[in-house]
Amino acid sequence: MYIRKAIPADLPEIRRVYDAAKAYMDRSGNPNQWKAGYPPAEVLKDDIARGQLYVVETNVCSLCSSTIHGVFAFIPGEDPTYLRIDGEWLREAPYAAIHRVASDGVVRGVFREAVAYCRAVVGSGIDLRIDTHEDNLTMQHVIEREGFMRCGIIYLANGAPRIAYQWIGAE
């Protein structure tokens, strides 16, 4: 697997990945986190324009084209969603946020690869934050498996609660 910034031509495949992830969430007891069509096209286009949407690809052979199997937003700097928490962040330090993580379910380890990429990009002393829906047990499991600690509840702009996690970068 390898990771690169998304480009506008990737949008149909990115939508396919999000649709597959939504279908998986529906089947696994999490039908309320993402509605059909989430994330909206405007959000994806904005993420691409800002250079903060990434795709996780595989290439089965050197002569074959790559296939997108995962997507995530990686946003450095303060995130308004994380300004208020019912709970407590592990520390107040510079951080980057990981949002809108999705996999089409074809290959394993998409989240692990995304987190490894983000950790490498931020380097030493920068933390990572992420959040997920209370019904998304799969995501909670993989977030915790990657060493993130549960810190409390944050609220999206629409008021919806999410479980918030933080990973401490080396100091």
- List the pLDDT tens digit at each of the 171 positions of the chain: 889 999 999 999 999 999 999 999 999 998 888 888 899 999 999 999 999 999 999 875 555 667 899 999 999 999 999 999 999 999 999 999 999 999 999 999 999 999 999 999 988 789 999 999 999 999 999 999 999 999 999 999 999 999 999 999 876
CATH code for the domain in which residue 86 is found: 3.40.630.30
> Which string of DSSP letters, residue by residue, matches the chain?
-EEEE--GGGHHHHHHHHHHHHHHHHHTT--SSS-TTPSPHHHHHHHHHTT-EEEEEE-SSTTSPPEEEEEEEEEES--GGGS-EEE--S----EEEEEEEEE-SSSS-HHHHHHHHHHHHH-TT-EEEEEE-TT-HHHHHHHHHTT-EEEEEEE-TTS-EEEEEEEPPP-
Residues 6+ apart with CB under 8 A from 75: 52, 96, 97, 98, 99
Q: How many domains does the chain have?
A: 1
Query: 17 lies in which domain range?
Result: 2-167
- pTM for the complete prediction? 0.92
- DSSP character for 32? S
Q: How far apart are the C-alpha atoms of 26 and 121, rounded to whole Å?
A: 32
